[in-house]
Copies of this chain bind each other. A is one copy, B any other.
Amino acid sequence: MTDNAEIPESNVDVLIIGAGPAGLMAASSLAHLKVPFRIIDRRRTKIFTGQADGLQCRSLEIFDSLGFADRVKKEANHMMEICMWNPDPESGEQGIRRSDRIPDTIVGLSRFQQIVLHQGRIERFFLDNIAKYHQVAGLGPWRGVERGVVPEALEITAKTDGEGEELYPVRVKLRGLSEDEAGVKQVNVGAEGLGGKSVGNIGGDGMFRSNLGDHEKDEEEEEEMMKRARERGGETEVVNCKYVIGCDGARSWTRRALGFELDGEATDFIWGVMDIIPITDFPDIRMRCAIHSANDGSLMVIPRENRLVRLYIQLKEVTPDASGRADRSKITPALIFGAAQRIMHPYKIDYEHCDWWTAYQIGQRIANSFSDDANRVFLAGDAVHTHSPKAGQGMNVSMQDSYNLAWKVGLVAKGICKPSILSTYQSERRRVAQDLIDFDQKFSRLFSGRPAKDVMDAEGVSMEEFKDAFLKGNLFASGLIVNYGPSNLVIKPGDPAEQGDGSEKSRRLEGTPHSITEEEFAKKQALAAGLPVGMRFNSFKVLNQACARPWHFQERLKLDGRFRVVLFAGNILAPGQKERVQKFCDRLNAPGSFLRRATPRGAKIDSVVEVLTIHSAKRTETELLRDFPDILHPFDPHYGWDYSKVFVDDVSYHEGFGDAYKNYGVDKERGCVVAVRPDQYVGWVGDLEDFGELEQYFERFLVLANEQ
């Protein structure tokens, strides 16, 4: 980077490049953790129509941990059922019929169900949330996303590892664009493409962002634009960062700056997308539908908010040329909609209003590395994995990437965690991305394939196989079966260094590795069979002991950077059990305990690790102050006892019985102890007597008093 004395220079803990869902998730998480950050985006305005919009269960659980799941739920369309439509044998391959109905979200999987809402609204909720928590965090009023700003150069100093390490080792040069330069290209199609429909009724053309866009030309134009901006001598500055998070999409500048490539390839399948208000006699237009026609291709119906319906439509008429690229000029709304009408025959479908449309060529690509060697610059979302949008996974997995990353970066930047935890970002998330791509490959093939005529038709896709894949895909898509591998944050058998890319980088940064045998682990896991180590802490209703209010337990696991120890105290009224709980608490409370050592001088005892209790005795026979050691409801001279930390697994007046012990698979008499990460993933399970192991768990990655 050419230094220029006149360029203003400043420091920031974290710089986020890109303000799509992944970047905003990182920003929101950091605001909740009270970590200073800046977020830039080249676009001048946020998104208003089109784009990704399916929100899976896990994303809603995450939104709830940030405090805005309710806003999303309120505005979204709630999809309840998937209807499978297949060729109707009685109509001689000319029509379709409903062959199956399945619930859209598997029953009992989460307290949320899959919903659909336009990405622009999600971004709005993020912006409101960031502004609120930025203020709450004492970081002052948030200046918002810095729009029309692009990174121009990125440099990581060599001093990132060990002695003499620089505090802000990543230098990024930023340049402000003029309004013209930052404007998003958005071309509306003319009336001719639409069989005479007026232009006013056709909304945004999303082709410019599609993977069918002419990217060589785009890159030339971009280079030209940047050159003009440099010549113009627009505003520049240098930001020195502890960490950089690149969430700048499929054509990520940050990824290119690190010299990484996406590996993978495109298929021959081309699909169109239209958001319309349909006028139709098709009976299931307000259901999610997977339609396979005999000869005209496949179609997916996604009902949306405000009477809108999204159609994903296979375009059999358009095929890639020898270079593997399709001719984008052939793709018009009329072509796409004509295909939809043929697939849905004998039902009629038309529209007066189209909100947005695009087309894409199915393909799957993934980056080999998700961060630089020093774990200072990270990539998330589309910057490291791309795939087809139909499974409603893109926005979800991208947000889950940065949700996984941001608290790790934030806690290391604050000096609460050791840098070694940073390597778990790649080991945990790259595997998820690989799984996603494998799933998408299989699913796209089944969805784009011709339905089998009969069991002898080996080239056709069996509709039973498709339904089976759809069901499995739904489970995968929920985001709830993600199961992180072993690391210092997740105590289970296996070699931590073999997770992710197995590179020297991972090995070096992993810190003191733990080791646990399969047999030992099985014993521990059996103490809480419903809380698999490596998976997210599932939610059931419990009552606050002091006020009898029912809470979904996950509501008490908000993202604020704190780890939690969940003490399943069992039957606290049984004398033997009470003694076990007392012993556990005595160790927690002892002067040299990890809890005391983790707590900064002068801070509250729950500032780094919060202890939450769920017991199984009768609520009305138990009393908070009488029956529970003080450390479970700490006293504050200004605020008195803490009434918010002890819960009971008992029947509520108005909201039934969560039966939490049973659902978590925990013994009602003896209980157990569970360590939970800030992102709600289970890190360790053990017995009340395993205090030493619990302590070791935290010692591996927390910066404790004697190390400060």
Could you tell me which A residues sit within 8 Å of B by CB distance? 70, 74, 77-81, 101, 103, 105, 107, 113, 277-281, 283, 285-287, 303, 307, 352-353, 543-544, 546-549, 620, 623-626, 637-641, 643, 652-654
Report B-chain residues with C-beta under 8 Å of the C-beta of A640.
277-280, 307
Task: Look across to chain B and name the residue whose beta carbon is closest to the beta carbon of A653.
Answer: B103
Q: Is the CB of A638 within 8 A of B81?
A: no
Starting from the known contacts A113-B653, A352-B639, 16 additional A-B residue pairs (CB-CB under 8 Å) come to: A78-B549, A79-B547, A80-B547, A80-B548, A80-B654, A81-B548, A101-B620, A103-B653, A107-B654, A277-B638, A277-B640, A278-B640, A283-B624, A285-B546, A286-B643, A287-B546
Instruction: From the candidates B70, B80, B352, B546, name the one contacting A653 in the complex (CB within 8 A).
Output: B80
CB distance from A17 to the nearest CB of B (A): 33
Q: How far is the CA of A623 from the CA of B74 in the complex (A)?
A: 26
Report B-chain residues with C-beta under 8 Å of the C-beta of A637.
279, 352
Task: Look across to chain B and name the residue whose beta carbon is closest to the beta carbon of A284.
Answer: B546
Q: How far is the CA of A625 from the CA of B347 in the complex (A)?
A: 13
Task: Look across to chain B and name the residue whose beta carbon is closest to the beta carbon of A288.
Answer: B547
Q: Is the CB of A307 within 8 A of B639?
A: yes
Report B-chain residues with C-beta under 8 Å of the C-beta of A79.
547
Report B-chain residues with C-beta under 8 Å of the C-beta of A652.
80
Q: How far is the CA of A70 from the CA of B75 in the complex (A)?
A: 12
Instruction: From the candidates B353, B546, B653, name the one contacting A286 in the complex (CB within 8 A).
Output: B546
Q: Would you mind naming 19 contact pairs between A and B with Cβ atoms under 8 Å apart? A: A78-B549, A80-B652, A80-B654, A81-B548, A101-B620, A103-B653, A107-B653, A277-B638, A278-B640, A279-B640, A281-B625, A285-B546, A285-B643, A286-B546, A286-B643, A287-B546, A307-B639, A307-B640, A352-B637
CB distance from A340 to the nearest CB of B (A): 15
Task: Look across to chain B and name the residue whose beta carbon is closest to the beta carbon of A281.
Answer: B625
Scoring A74, A277, A286, A543 by chain B CB atoms within 10 A of each residue's CB, the highest score goes to A286
Report B-chain residues with C-beta under 8 Å of the C-beta of A287.
546-548
CB distance from A47 to the nearest CB of B (A): 22
> Lowest 5 CB-CB distances: which A-B pairs, in order?
A279-B640, A286-B547, A80-B548, A286-B546, A103-B653
CB distance from A291 to the nearest CB of B (A): 17
Report B-chain residues with C-beta under 8 Å of the C-beta of A277.
638-640
CB distance from A462 to the nearest CB of B (A): 24
Known A-B contacts A70-B74, A654-B105; the reply to A626 vs B81 at CB < 8 A is no
Task: Look across to chain B and name the residue whose beta carbon is closest to the beta carbon of A551.
Answer: B78
CB distance from A71 to the nearest CB of B (A): 9
Q: How far is the CA of A638 from the CA of B353 in the complex (A)?
A: 8
CB distance from A541 to the nearest CB of B (A): 13
CB distance from A425 to the nearest CB of B (A): 32
Report B-chain residues with C-beta under 8 Å of the C-beta of A546.
285-287
Q: How far is the CA of A640 from the CA of B74 in the complex (A)?
A: 24
Report B-chain residues with C-beta under 8 Å of the C-beta of A281.
625
Q: Is the CB of A283 within 8 A of B623?
A: yes
Q: How far is the CA of A620 from the CA of B83 in the complex (A)?
A: 11
Scoring A77, A113, A279, A353 by chain B CB atoms within 10 A of each residue's CB, the highest score goes to A279
Q: How far is the CA of A107 from the CA of B643 in the complex (A)?
A: 25
Report B-chain residues with C-beta under 8 Å of the C-beta of A307.
639-640, 643
Q: How far is the CA of A303 from the CA of B643 in the complex (A)?
A: 12
Q: How far is the CA of A177 from the CA of B107 in the complex (A)?
A: 61
Q: How far is the CA of A548 from the CA of B547 in the complex (A)?
A: 36
Q: How far is the CA of A202 from the CA of B584 in the complex (A)?
A: 40
CB distance from A682 to the nearest CB of B (A): 24
Task: Look across to chain B and name the residue whose beta carbon is closest to the beta carbon of A282.
Answer: B625
Q: How far is the CA of A1 from the CA of B401 in the complex (A)?
A: 70
Q: How far is the CA of A281 from the CA of B643 in the complex (A)?
A: 12
Q: How far is the CA of A105 from the CA of B653 in the complex (A)?
A: 9
Q: How far is the CA of A307 from the CA of B101 in the complex (A)?
A: 48
Report B-chain residues with C-beta under 8 Å of the C-beta of A80.
543, 547-549, 652-654
CB distance from A587 to the nearest CB of B (A): 26
CB distance from A683 to the nearest CB of B (A): 29
Q: Is the CB of A113 within 8 A of B654?
A: yes
Task: Look across to chain B and name the residue whose beta carbon is closest to the beta carbon of A103.
Answer: B653
Q: Is the CB of B81 within 8 A of A303?
A: no
Task: Look across to chain B and name the residue whose beta carbon is closest to the beta carbon of A547.
Answer: B286
Q: How far is the CA of A352 from the CA of B637 in the complex (A)?
A: 8
Report B-chain residues with C-beta under 8 Å of the C-beta of A101.
620
Q: How far is the CA of A74 from the CA of B626 in the complex (A)?
A: 30
Report B-chain residues with C-beta under 8 Å of the C-beta of A303.
547
CB distance from A137 to the nearest CB of B (A): 18
Q: Is the CB of B113 within 8 A of A283?
A: no
Task: Look across to chain B and name the residue whose beta carbon is closest to the beta carbon of A642.
Answer: B307
Q: How far is the CA of A70 from the CA of B67 in the complex (A)?
A: 13
CB distance from A615 to the nearest CB of B (A): 16
Report B-chain residues with C-beta under 8 Å of the C-beta of A547.
77-81, 286-287, 303
Task: Look across to chain B and name the residue whose beta carbon is closest to the beta carbon of A280.
Answer: B640
Report B-chain residues with C-beta under 8 Å of the C-beta of A74.
70
Q: How far is the CA of A29 from the CA of B287 in the complex (A)?
A: 34
CB distance from A136 to the nearest CB of B (A): 13
Report B-chain residues with C-beta under 8 Å of the C-beta of A638.
277, 352-353
Task: Look across to chain B and name the residue whose beta carbon is closest to the beta carbon of A107.
Answer: B653
Q: How far is the CA of A626 from the CA of B281 in the complex (A)?
A: 9
CB distance from A689 to the nearest CB of B (A): 30
Task: Look across to chain B and name the residue whose beta carbon is closest to the beta carbon of A101.
Answer: B620
Q: Is the CB of B620 within 8 A of A283?
A: no
Q: Is the CB of A283 within 8 A of B549?
A: no
CB distance from A97 to the nearest CB of B (A): 13
Q: How far is the CA of A74 from the CA of B551 in the complex (A)?
A: 12
CB distance from A85 to the nearest CB of B (A): 14
